[in-house]
Amino acid sequence: MNVKEHNGAVLVYGVNDPAGSGIAEYLREVTTCVDVSAPRAVKVWYVKDVDAVLAGFPEETISMDYLDEVFPSAKFYVFLSKHSATSGIKSLTTHHTGNPTASATVGGRPYELSIAHPVLTYNFIRGLNEVSKARALQEFEVVYEVTHHGPTSLNKPLSFIEIGSSNREWGLREAHEVVGEVVLDSLKALNHVRCVPAVGFGGPHYAEKFTELALKGDICFGHIIPRYALKELRETPEKLELIIMQAMTKSVPRPVRALVMKKVGSLARDTVKKVAKDLGLEFVVIK
């Protein structure tokens, strides 16, 4: 198989990441895999069950801006990864990538968002919630994270699915099984899911309100731009509008609804409303 011609999903991980490596190992155990090769990759397999390529690279996932060169025909990317947090809270998360502000200390470029995949992460968040309970991992918090870190410049949609937040959780076999099962189920069901693509603005880094809306209904989120980023962007209104525009357009499929938390400042709220109107999105303020 020539990976350059593969036009399905590509699942990637860092070989030195215990969470990503553990998830990948589980996937290999429960699927039919064929050894293949790819430039820069350390380990590569074709996963017949879901028509996907599974590839491990020496770099951290946040630095894999080169994937389009390795997989030019890929449909989308799924990043299997660890999630770090000083709080040490046990978590299972999913999110899209991008740097809404001038800071780009964790990969990617400043003021650049990647292409989101709201339907896939909708599958992820709902699957993580269901499977973690079934596998007795109720102590893990299941939540969308907001848009953050790299890579930001890939030409295909990408999503992160992660295990947090410390070494103990990253190496936990049960967590690897939950994420691996969710990834496989999500890929198999992708073409059968119906949801309302949306973009979210406001709230903290762990987007609990947007998570609740996805778990209880049919709203699937692409980019979620947090309150702290919107607050910083007030100093440069042109950058604020740039990020809002990217959040609403860099998504497959594009969102049809823009949801803004009530506590978002007036400048950001008004700018979201203006850009949403220009693009034909429904504008909704939520508590």
Q: 3-state class of 32 per DSSP? A: coil
Residue 49, pLDDT score: 97
Domain ranges of the chain: 3-286
Residue 272: the pLDDT is 98
CA atoms within a 13 Å half-sphere pointing along the CA-CB vector of 218: 5
Of 226, 44, 83, 257, the closest CA to residue 167 belongs to 83
Q: Which pLDDT score, from 0 to 100, does residue 1 have?
A: 86
pLDDT at 117: 98
The arrangement of secondary structure in 3-286, i.e. its CATH architecture, is 3-Layer(aba) Sandwich (3.40)
What is the rounded distance in angstroms from the CA atom of residue 241 to the CA atom of residue 220?
A: 22
The predicted structure's pLDDT at residue 88: 83
The contacts found for 171-176 with CB under 8 angstroms, 24 or more apart, are: 171/18, 171/19, 171/22, 172/22, 173/22, 173/26, 174/135, 174/136, 174/137, 175/19, 175/22, 175/92, 175/137, 175/140, 176/19, 176/22, 176/23, 176/25, 176/26
pLDDT tens digits along 90-147: 999 999 999 999 999 999 999 999 999 999 999 999 999 999 999 989 999 999 999 9
Give me the residues of the chain with pLDDT under 50, please: none
pLDDT tens digit string along 190-201?
A: 999 999 999 999
Q: Are strands 282-286 and 257-261 parallel, antiparallel or unpaired?
A: parallel
